[in-house]
Each structure stands twice: as structure tokens, then as C-alpha cells.
Amino acid sequence: MKKSLCIIYSLLLLTLLWTTITCKPVEQTGDDPLSEKTDKLFSEWDKPDSPGASLAVIKDGSVIYKAGYGSAQLEYSIPITPSTVFHVASVSKQFTAFAITMLADQGKLSLDDDIHKHLPEIPDFGKTVTIRHLIHHISGIRDQWELLAMAGWRLDDVITKEHILKMVKHQRDLNFEPGAEYLYCNTGFTLMAEIVARVTGQSFREWTEKNIFKPLGMSNTQFYDDHERIVKNRAYSYAKDNDKGFKKRVLSYANVGATSLFTTAEDLAKWLLNFEEKRVGGSAIIEQVHKQGVLNNGKEISYAFGLIIGEHKGLRTVGHGGADAGYRSNVMHFPEQKFGVVVLSNLANFNPSSLARQVAEVYLADQIKEEEKEGEKTVKVDRKVLDSYTGKYKLKAGPVVTIARERNRLVAKAGDEVKVELIPESETKFFVKEIDAHITFQRTESEKASRFILHQGEEDIPAQRIEPPTLNPKQLAEFAGDYYSEELGTTYTIVVQDEQLVAQHRRHDDIKLNPTDMDQFVGEQWFFSQVQFTRDKEKKLTGFLLTGSRVRNLRFDKQ
């Protein structure tokens, strides 16, 4: 009996402790209906046995609401608060671009400097790559994460700045001519952080702390360049584990610039306020970092200086999101409304950009244009028309997408990803809720669709219908062998298993390869999505070119 009473008292004490810690101050909530509406948006995660989120809202020069929901550490049921520290992934990029812009304003570098002026060890690609190219993701340099994965690294390995710089040092080609197109590239921001360090003689962490974070009072913010450093009050990273609850998503990065900013919702609110107050940087720099990139053909892109310029329901937005391991983040500013939202989470399937927009809709309801939500306007499409869309399509520099009909609906599956529904908005245009994108099929009355266009963000990505060939055992055996990349210093062995090609690597699970043409295959891994085998004049196999979403035509030679 005494033991049972002790257990009951302990549970009551834990409940009281959780309630006491997570209770929001009276001045923040009170009877404010806007705060109550906001809290409801996060109610699904507002419990001690779930990862959750931290929130800060600014309006007219001050923080008007902040809150925490769920647990920062599930092992100890430590609640998330507005001062909980999160890894914010690519939200880091705007600080890297800001640092570069400050140094340019001081005359210590130029945005149009050839990067070799500061990083002479980077290979000569035969084309000039400038700092400005790096800022806007238009350099053509291959992406570091995809290169590392191709080389056999896991993204939960300890990855340092030195690892990345050594890998870039051995690259021989670009994805495209600098300035020709936009293709998101993390490598460019790692290189810019190193440029800051070399120009100033301080580590990137030290320089940003002294020149950005301390002047803004961002006392819980740092660039995390040492994976062994202890950070107080940090949230750990989680993902759903099917029906078993949650599991940890390990992150051991020790590189900065593209990622690895550790910060809080409270501190990022101060950062957003600086866009209006201009205390650090001044008007000229604040104006500069909002300027969008321009391609060689004169086309303006939406990406500015680590900031994406967009709009939401008629209102201009400036912001960026981030995703590493189980961390998800979004910082969104509405300049004309002097309003901003910070949402940070430690759960992999959390959608901070959607939540940030919903919070904005609560506080800016009288200024937002009411629009029909994507996917709400649906039409009925004849089964014969749906059948004309079914088949396999090859995304440009991406996986094969299989379109199938299930009763009266279309579904799509890309590579080894989960199946998603295509919601018809017209006879040819479909909405994909899971990735916030549209697919438009191109067809005639008498033929099957020849291709579709994937509209996602600023990109229109074509996908061509393919009719995969059937290869006999002798044809498959010709591809077997070892293939070595001098640029990555790694080898893949191609073997035939169960009448299918398989790519093997010492540090990866086997990767199945499916033919799309006689010498072209697609792999079932995000970093191994397209393999184009190459031949000499005598039609003898010489190697293959490996392409992913952010790495193109990386050469492997047959041994």
C-alpha cells in the first residue's frame, strides 16, 4: 500500500512540475483569443511524451507572443520553452550571407571576387566562380551532402569543415556554367564561412559571435563547429518510429556556414527585429541582403542572401527554412506588416513553414486575402483519362516516378519513397499535398501522356515517359565490375543479383538499379538516382556518370 501511494505521489509531483514549467506567463496569454488560437495550432505536440516546437511572434517592433510545446528531451521529459536551443539547419545561411555582406561593406572583400582569391586550393574549373555565385546558389559547384553520401559517408557521421574542403579540393567539374541556373548548393555556404575566417583571422564562430550575436543580444546563439561541445538547454532530435513512438535522429556535424547554427526562438525574434531596427549592419546592408539573384540571361530568381523572397496570400514574405536529422525550422518575416514568426522543432515530420503561415493567418487575418486551399478545389476525372497518365516517368536529374490508378484516384511513387495521392484540380493538373507541389500532364485525346511537369516552388521540373527495356542475363553481365571515382576516392562494385543490377559499396546497403534505357539505370537511393554508362568508340564500357538531385555527371571509371 505504501509503495502504491509513493508511486501516485511521484506521478502527481511530475505532473505538477510539468504544468509549472510549461505554464505560459499571464501577460503572454491571459484571455487573448489570438494566443489561444495559436496554441491550438500546436496542441497535437503539446504533451510531455512528444517532441514539439518553440515559437516566437513579433509585431510592430516587439515580441508579442512566445511559447513552447512538447519535450526537448524525451528521456527526461524536459519541456520546450522559448529559450530552448535548437539546431536550425539551413536557417543558418542568412547569417553566413550577412557576415559576407558586412565584410564587403567594410572593403575587406568584394562580392564579385573570384573565390580563388580567398580559397586558392579550390580547383580551376575553367570558369570564374564568384562569391556572389555562391550566395545565390548559381555557382554550379556540386553539393557537399550528396557528394559525401556518394563517397560512402552517412549523414550522421562526424563531418567536419576539413572533410568538406578536402572533398571539394578533388572535384574536377561543375554541374553547369556559373550563373546559368539556380541549383541549391550547401557547399557554397561552407566555402563562404571559410572565406570569413581567412579574411578576418578568426574562426567563423568567433567572428559571428562578436560582430552579430553579441551586439543583438542573441546570448544563446552560436555556430556549432565542435561536435563535442556541451550546449546547455539544447533540444534533441527525433523522428517517428512507426507505432513504437519516437526514435533519436543523431546529428554530429562539426562544420558551419551552410548549417549548424544553434539558437532559440527568442534570439531569432531579435534577429527579425533587426531587419526593421537595422542596429547591426545598417540600412545599406539590410537592403543588400534582400536583393534577389540574377542569372546570366537576366532572369531574377527568388533567392536573395540566404533569404527566399516570396508571398503568402497576397503579402510579401522574406524567410528561410531548415531541415537536418530530426530538426525542422522556419523563420518568416512580413516586412510591410512589421510582423514575423519563428517556429523551431525537434521532430522530423513537423512542418514549420506551414505552422508559421498559419500563425501569420491568425495575427494578420484582416490583411490576408482569403484563397481556396490547395487541393480543396477538386474535379472528377474520367477513368480513361486517368489511365492515360499511368506509367513510368523519368524526372530530369531525378528518380523514376511510377503513376498508377487505384480505383478512381491517381497515386505516385518516386523511387523508394512512400506513395502519395494526386488530387485533381482539372483534367490535367493535380496537387500533391505531401510535397506542396503540382503535376501537370501533357497529353492528346488519342495518346497516353508523353510527360508531366512538376511545379514546386520556383522550379518546373520535366519528367519524360519511359518504356524500360528488358535486358537479358548476358546484357546485364556486361555492366558487372568495379568502378572507381578519383574525385571521391571511392569504389562501387556492380553485380547481377536475381536478374537485376545492384551497386554495392562497403558503407552502404545494396542499391538496386532499374533500366530506363539500354545504358541508363536509376537507383533506389536519393544520392544514386541516375547512372549513365559510358562507352568508347568500339562500344566497350569505360565507366559511368552518376547523377543525383544536386550532383551531375560525376565520373566513375571501370577498373
For the chain, domains (ranges, CATH) are: 87-363 (3.40.710.10), 383-466 (2.40.128), 473-558 (2.40.128.50)
Q: Please name which of 270, 252, 361, 251 lies closest in space to residue 83, comparing C-alpha atoms.
A: 270
pLDDT at 396 over 80: no
Average pLDDT, integer, range 185-192:
98
**Pair 143, 185: CB distance under 8 Å:** yes
Share of the chain above pLDDT 70, in %: 92
Residue 16's pLDDT band (boundaries 50, 70, 90)?
very low
Of the candidate ranges 29-38, 58-67, 136-145, 164-173, the one whose mean pLDDT is the lowest: 29-38
**Which residue shows C-alpha cell 536551443?**
85
CA pair distance 309, 320, nearest whole angstrom:
9
The most confident of the ranges 341-350, 406-415, 441-450, 452-461 is 341-350
Q: What is the pLDDT of residue 108?
A: 98
Average pLDDT, integer, range 114-138:
97
Pairing outcome for strands 159-160 and 222-223: unpaired
More confident residue, 48 or 435: 48
Average pLDDT, integer, range 480-499:
97
Q: What is the pLDDT of residue 13?
A: 43
Q: What is the pLDDT of residue 398?
A: 72
**Pair 392, 465: CB distance under 8 Å:** yes
Average pLDDT, integer, range 373-378:
62
Enter the C-alpha cell of residue 232: 546547455
pLDDT at 206 over 60: yes
Q: What is the pLDDT of residue 466?
A: 87
Q: What is the pLDDT of residue 436?
A: 79
pLDDT at 152 over 70: yes
Q: What is the pLDDT of residue 376?
A: 59
Q: What is the 3-state secondary structure (H, E, C) of 348-385?
A: CCCCHHHHHHHHHHHHCCCCCCCCCCCCCCCCCCCHHH
pLDDT at 417 over 80: no
Residue 456's pLDDT band (boundaries 50, 70, 90)?
confident
Residue 285's pLDDT band (boundaries 50, 70, 90)?
very high
Partners of 531 in the beta sheet?
Answer: 521, 546
Name the average pLDDT for the chain.
92
The most confident of the ranges 243-247, 311-315, 440-444 is 311-315
Render 67-84 in DSSP notation, one character per residue: EEESEEETTTTEEP-TT-
Residue 416's pLDDT band (boundaries 50, 70, 90)?
low
Q: What is the pLDDT of residue 28?
A: 44
- What's the Cα-to-Cα distance from 352 to each of 91, 322, 347, rounded to whole Å? 12, 9, 10
More confident residue, 419 or 59: 59
Q: What is the pLDDT of residue 14?
A: 45
Average pLDDT, integer, range 282-308:
98
Measured in whole angstroms, how far is the alpha carbon of residue 163 from the centre of its chain?
Answer: 21
Measured in whole angstroms, how far is the alpha carbon of residue 353 from the centre of its chain?
Answer: 12
**Which residue shows C-alpha cell 563517397?**
151
pLDDT at 165 over 70: yes
Q: What is the pLDDT of residue 414?
A: 84
Render 282-350 in DSSP notation, one character per residue: HHHHHHHHTPPPB-TTSPBPSB-SS-EEEEETTEEEEEEEEEETTEEEEEEEEGGGTEEEEEEESBTT-
pLDDT at 142 over 50: yes
**Which residue shows C-alpha cell 571501370?**
558
Of the candidate ranges 165-169, 312-316, 453-457, the one whose mean pLDDT is the lowest: 453-457
pLDDT at 5 over 50: no
pTM, full prediction: 0.88
pLDDT at 378 over 50: yes
pLDDT at 29 over 60: no
pLDDT at 30 over 50: no
Helical packing angle, 282-289 and 93-105, nearest 10°: 130
pLDDT at 375 over 60: no
Q: What is the pLDDT of residue 8?
A: 44
Residue 10's pLDDT band (boundaries 50, 70, 90)?
very low
CA pair distance 96, 91, nearest whole angstrom:
10
Average pLDDT, integer, range 458-481:
90
For 92-104, what is each residue's pLDDT tens digit?
A: 999 999 999 999 9
Residue 374's pLDDT band (boundaries 50, 70, 90)?
low
